[in-house]
Structure 1
Amino acid sequence: MNPFRTTVSRLWNSSPLLYKTLSSMAAASLVNDFPQLTALGKHLRKEAIEMLDKGSGPDQDLLLAMLMLGGSASWHNPRDLGLPFFNRARRKLASMSTAVFEQHGVDYHFFHQSMTYWEMLLSYVAENDELNASIDEHAFSQGCTTLHFVPHPWTGFARDTQHAVQKVGRLIRKQRKMAFSHRFTSLSHIKQLEKDLAAASELEQYLCSLSHPVETTVLDTEDRNTPVWHLLTLAEAYRSTGLIQLYHIFPDLLDHRLVREGLLNPDLNEEHGPDSPSASCQLRKDWLTSYAVQALNLMKSIPLESGTRDFQPFILVSLSSELRMSSPPVDIHDSGPGASMADQMAGFTSQTIEVSRMRHFIKSRLNSFLYTLPPRPIHVCLDIVNETWRIMDERARSCEDVYWMDVMIQNGWETTMA
């Protein structure tokens, strides 16, 4: 059922390019247990790239090699995003018609959906001008409706959701980079913010309206480690992740949702800034924390050995900055010997306990991935998560906002989280 695995298994023995590529990926996956494979993996990768640059071989082999060499670049060097391979694959696909693919027995839609997932990951860690533009969505959608019910190895049943989350990533990263570079506000800055807010609103509406297929209407994966419900659960987690990023960076969107749901009185909502000490600010943060916990409970329901584990690190990292620990009203260190146990336990609310559990879940799952996935990008994921929580806890008594992407950008920790 997995066309990627099936195709590669069929071709690797007869394709020196794919053989070298797979060998380099295997070596990079084993460096935790066998550090001596580091140099071998890089050497095999170099040889594979040289073969690819010669451009000889069937288009299917070349495209598969671009996907694998680009997607595994961070396995060898966590700061290498494989951008040249992404752009090269996109240009290659754009230059070929559907008829050409069919003539050579290549699955056109398989490769385009693979690019959808890859672009989603890159949109959060690379600048917009570094990524070649997406293909025309209308052209991509034609003839693909039935494929929505056949799981793709990288997008599962979440092709449209991942495409929307990719757009969220491009918008959010552009906004955060602009926030870092603009010390002063200008009219053009304000106009850009208004434009971004309008785009964010459209994406929110789209993500909220998306529907995923029900289990009885889709084909079985025929993979006992990855039943259909794992993929459908992951699709819902992607949706929640995209919405949470929008609500965190564009709090007005969340205010509108809270008003619609009767949780916020619009007459009392006077302060909109993420660092505002107002009641609406606290309501936002509590709602986001609760929503993130729900999404993480979905992730927790998927067993560790699931074949979806390759696609989980991005979601886990993206939700980390919503796990806020409540600050106790009394500073235990300054409260003196007269402080009662009730004072000292005041910060341990049910939400605090749930947040602590979910932090433990994220860390334990990422730590487990160090032994089941290529370890170098996972180490960076752990760095982002741990530093985000350290800063959050340090600032818990203030209303200062902390966002995982800001932490990643400031430390230069961009990596492909897969």
Structure 2
Amino acid sequence: KSRTGCQRCKLKRLKCDETKPGCKNCRTRGITCPGYRQLIKWSTKYEAYMPGASKQLIVGPNQMSTEQLSAKDSAMSPSGATSSSESPSLQDRPESDGGNAEQPRKRTRLARGHDSHSHVIRSPRIERRQNATSSHLPRVSECMEPLEVDEPAIQAPLSDDGAPEESVHDSEAQEDEVEDVGDDAEDASLQETHEEAADSTLLSSLMKRYKDMTTPRPGQRLVTPEMKLVEHYFKNVCVIYSSFDSSLNPFRSAVGRIWDSSPSIYYAIQSMAAAQLANWYPHLAPTGIEMQQKAYEALDQELRLVKAGCMSSERVLLAILLLGLTAAWHNSGDLGIRHLNAARALIYPRLVAPVPPDNKIIRRQNQFFEESLIYWEMLMGFVNEESQFDPRQPWNSPTLGQLGLSPSNPRTHRSGNIAVDKYLPHPWTGIAPKVQMIFAEIGRLVRHQRTAKIYGNPEASYHSTYWEQTLAWAAVLEEELLGSDMPLAEDLIDPGDEKTSKDDFIAVAEAYRCAGLLEIYRVFPDILKKRLGDSQGWEQTGIRSLTPSTPGTAREATDMRIWLNSLALHILSLLESLPSSSGTGATQPILLVAAAGELRFVSSLDYFDIYANNEKIRHARRFVRNRMQEFTMRLPSKPLHRMIELIEEVWRKLDAGQDVFWLDVMVQNGWQTVM
């Protein structure tokens, strides 16, 4: 086949001598040679499919048209530089110019005049950004639906060279060739009528190819790295950020409705996706930090709007929940304290503000945000030095009551009233927010007491007034935990996740209750000694069978260590009963750390107990190692590697005969992280 001859010879697949002004084959046939001009082919290789209909973006019920958002922003923002109470539209998305995305809150489309009816200025750059991003919305919308697979899919949708992989929407279009018309063996002595028919065929073929080349193809769109990160969030990250994944998962559904109109959320989910992908692709770690910084900048602007009363707090709170607890994903030592303070400042006023009884939407929102804050406070209680502890001012929850004052009854609702309606587990606190609220207070109490002892604070000395107050408050928290009753499975609404059953939530709630008791008894042995000496102390608890095999005898230090071993093994047995694919895995690391810190080997010369022996300790340690390693493959690994290092160091010291507490080791080595 000739590639450099005249157009007619190439069509006939004849060898062309390329003489000028006409080739020999054309002169032999007595026809005019078409010449040697190259056909100019319009490349569609890098074009995105931008039909006019895609400019109207619809993702979720609250999506507004671009014109509506522009008019709303013009009315709410006189300067035209900030957004209204509704978050910015998708047209403020960043462009992908060498990876340097522009912050979406910069608005060039609003008129700068003082006229309240100012017109919208549409620059070509913003039009391109809107159209390019809109073409990816169908892809992202597909990712928003929960995946139904047998095993958790840990997919890394980036190739080894960092380029996005997608077999359905391949951005590389194949170069088209001209259709073959004719036969290689066609004789050079064809009749003129056949030649004229061939000329007509050539013209038709060229016209057809011209039409095909100028028509964009739906599959030929450039998938930007930003959109791949957004897709990965909805495919994999929102799954691990909640204890269940379904349409009821707010980190899928709520984020899915507003990610394209909230700059802080838009960048936050990208930073989360990049941090999780960094488990396999370390070169994405800087991308995650870059997206995190852009989310911080957008969040600062939105917080100023909320403070000025120009924007509601719901979207900002959701962004804070996404950014605060994932700060350690990028830097294991970053506790996200400033985000916690911002969340407190926004949530507390909502909880104390009067809400009409018939406004169920606000009540559900307040309950979600309050329980999210409870979980966050629980994680921070053990590691945050800024968490204040004062036994004279116990935690008072507007919906759950004040600690130490509201006795628990069997089958009670989280508000303290007798349960009537079924309730849905929270993505983080599950079914026992009151237990986690107590656990948070225990974390503050234990951290304050141990750090005071480490640094020689006189308050930590026995028989001091402050010590007596602290001991009394620890006893109150113990009573609260012992009196807590877990709801039954039939009291729960099924969240719709096949991997997370109702029993999983019950087991995790019981593990948190026992972990709280474990920390109290470890730091305040007088309470455990008193409880073990009370013949009626365990009758109404779920851990009565864990008492040592010689009840009623004098409790020596060895006896109490064995009992703590038994309680730690009980906690780990609850977690071991859960499949590793359970959605509750994201809430288990702090339980594993607390229980693993008490897995000391038992010397047969000192004590023997059927509930704690060395073989069980070895098995429990293997389980902790395996479960934590599994989590490093599913969850962002930086905080988990620090927790694994902490556990191994505690075990090393215990095996060397040292009486150490895991929190002491953490503080002394500066290994605080979000667990």
In 2: Cα distance, 1:158 partner to 1:113 partner: 10
Which of 244, 253, 272 lines up with 1:25 in the alignment? 272
Instruction: Give the partner amino acid of 1:251.
Output: P
Deviation digits for residues 69-95 of structure 1, max 9, x if unmatched? 111010011111001001111101223
Compute the TM-score of the two structures, normalised by the length of structure 2.
0.54
Counterpart check, 1:408 vs 2:662:
no
Which of 239, 249, 271 lines up with 1:2 in the alignment? 249
In 1: Cα distance, 2:383 partner to 2:621 partner: 23
Gap regions ≥5 residues in structure 1: 270-279, 331-345
**Correspondences of 1:92-241 after superposition (within 5 Å):** 92-96=346-350, 97=353, 99=355, 107-129=365-387, 136-141=396-401, 144=415, 149-182=423-456, 190-241=464-515
Residue aligning to 1:323:
599
Residue 597 of structure 2 aligns to a residue whose secondary structure is helix
Compute the TM-score of the two structures, normalised by the length of structure 1.
0.85
In 2: Cα distance, 1:295 partner to 1:103 partner: 37
Instruction: Give the partner amino acid of 2:451.
Output: K
In 2: Cα distance, 1:183 partner to 1:20 partner: 44
* Conservation of the 8 A alpha-carbon contact between 2:278 and 2:284: yes
In 2: Cα distance, 1:312 partner to 1:40 partner: 28
Residue aligning to 1:272:
none
What displacement does 1:218 show? 1.4
CA 1:306–1:23 in 2, change beyond 3 Å: closer, same or farther? Answer: same
More helix per residue: 1 or 2? Answer: 1
Which of 358, 380, 383 lines up with 2:645 in the alignment? 383
Residue 634 of structure 2 aligns to a residue whose secondary structure is coil
* Conservation of the 8 A alpha-carbon contact between 1:148 and 1:157: no
Residue 324 of structure 1 aligns to a residue whose secondary structure is coil
CA 1:167–1:104 in 2, change beyond 3 Å: closer, same or farther? Answer: closer
**Correspondences of 1:247-262 after superposition (within 5 Å):** 247-261=521-535
Instruction: Give the partner amino acid of 1:13.
Output: D
* Conservation of the 8 A alpha-carbon contact between 1:318 and 1:404: yes
Instruction: Give the partner amino acid of 1:30.
Output: L
Counterpart check, 1:352 vs 2:352:
no
Instruction: Give the partner amino acid of 1:235.
Output: A
Which of 571, 588, 603 lines up with 1:295 in the alignment? 571
What displacement does 1:143 show? 9.0
What displacement does 1:14 show? 2.8
CA 1:329–1:118 in 2, change beyond 3 Å: closer, same or farther? Answer: same
In 1: Cα distance, 2:651 partner to 2:577 partner: 23
In 1: Cα distance, 2:516 partner to 2:432 partner: 12
In 1: Cα distance, 2:476 partner to 2:389 partner: 22
In 2: Cα distance, 1:134 partner to 1:91 partner: 18
Residue 496 of structure 2 aligns to a residue whose secondary structure is coil
In 1: Cα distance, 2:552 partner to 2:493 partner: 45
Residue aligning to 2:151:
none
Root-mean-square deviation (CA, aligned residues, Å) is 2.9
**Correspondences of 1:303-314 after superposition (within 5 Å):** 303-314=579-590
Instruction: Give the partner amino acid of 1:15.
Output: S
Deviation digits for residues 193-220 of structure 1, max 9, x if unmatched? 1111101100111100100101112111
CA 1:404–1:54 in 2, change beyond 3 Å: closer, same or farther? Answer: same
Instruction: Give the partner amino acid of 2:340.
Output: F
Instruction: Give the partner amino acid of 1:70.
Output: G
CA 1:242–1:138 in 2, change beyond 3 Å: closer, same or farther? Answer: same
In 2: Cα distance, 1:283 partner to 1:47 partner: 55
In 1: Cα distance, 2:448 partner to 2:612 partner: 36
Deviation digits for residues 237-285 of structure 1, max 9, x if unmatched? 000000000000001111112112485557x45xxxxxxxxxx101001
* Conservation of the 8 A alpha-carbon contact between 1:288 and 1:322: yes
In 2: Cα distance, 1:264 partner to 1:350 partner: 15
What displacement does 1:54 show? 0.5
Aligned pairs, number? 387
Which of 314, 328, 331 lines up with 1:60 in the alignment? 314
Deviation digits for residues 335-359 of structure 1, max 9, x if unmatched? xxxxxxxxxxx9xx97100011001
| Greater Rg over alpha carbons, structure | 2
In 2: Cα distance, 1:143 partner to 1:284 partner: 33
Residue aligning to 2:262:
15
* Conservation of the 8 A alpha-carbon contact between 2:422 and 2:493: no
In 2: Cα distance, 1:286 partner to 1:292 partner: 10
* Conservation of the 8 A alpha-carbon contact between 1:325 and 1:352: yes
CA 1:248–1:17 in 2, change beyond 3 Å: closer, same or farther? Answer: same
In 2: Cα distance, 1:105 partner to 1:261 partner: 44
What displacement does 1:191 show? 1.5
* Conservation of the 8 A alpha-carbon contact between 2:593 and 2:647: yes
Counterpart check, 1:75 vs 2:75:
no
CA 1:102–1:59 in 2, change beyond 3 Å: closer, same or farther? Answer: farther
* Conservation of the 8 A alpha-carbon contact between 1:317 and 1:381: yes
In 2: Cα distance, 1:312 partner to 1:413 partner: 18
What displacement does 1:15 show? 2.1
CA 1:353–1:105 in 2, change beyond 3 Å: closer, same or farther? Answer: closer
In 2: Cα distance, 1:243 partner to 1:185 partner: 23
In 2: Cα distance, 1:300 partner to 1:53 partner: 42
In 2: Cα distance, 1:408 partner to 1:167 partner: 19
Instruction: Give the partner amino acid of 1:247.
Output: Y
Residue 95 of structure 1 aligns to a residue whose secondary structure is helix
Instruction: Give the partner amino acid of 2:430.
Output: G
In 1: Cα distance, 2:383 partner to 2:592 partner: 15
What displacement does 1:221 show? 1.6
Residue 588 of structure 2 aligns to a residue whose secondary structure is helix
* Conservation of the 8 A alpha-carbon contact between 1:75 and 1:375: yes
CA 1:403–1:36 in 2, change beyond 3 Å: closer, same or farther? Answer: same
CA 1:135–1:21 in 2, change beyond 3 Å: closer, same or farther? Answer: farther
Bigger mean CA offset, 251-260 vs 89-98 = 89-98
Instruction: Give the partner amino acid of 2:613.
Output: Q
CA 1:287–1:90 in 2, change beyond 3 Å: closer, same or farther? Answer: same
What displacement does 1:139 show? 4.9
What displacement does 1:131 show? 9.3
Deviation digits for residues 167-191 of structure 1, max 9, x if unmatched? 1001000000110122768989722
In 2: Cα distance, 1:386 partner to 1:188 partner: 31
Deviation digits for residues 355-384 of structure 1, max 9, x if unmatched? 110011011100111110010000011011
* Conservation of the 8 A alpha-carbon contact between 1:176 and 1:406: yes
What displacement does 1:135 show? 6.8
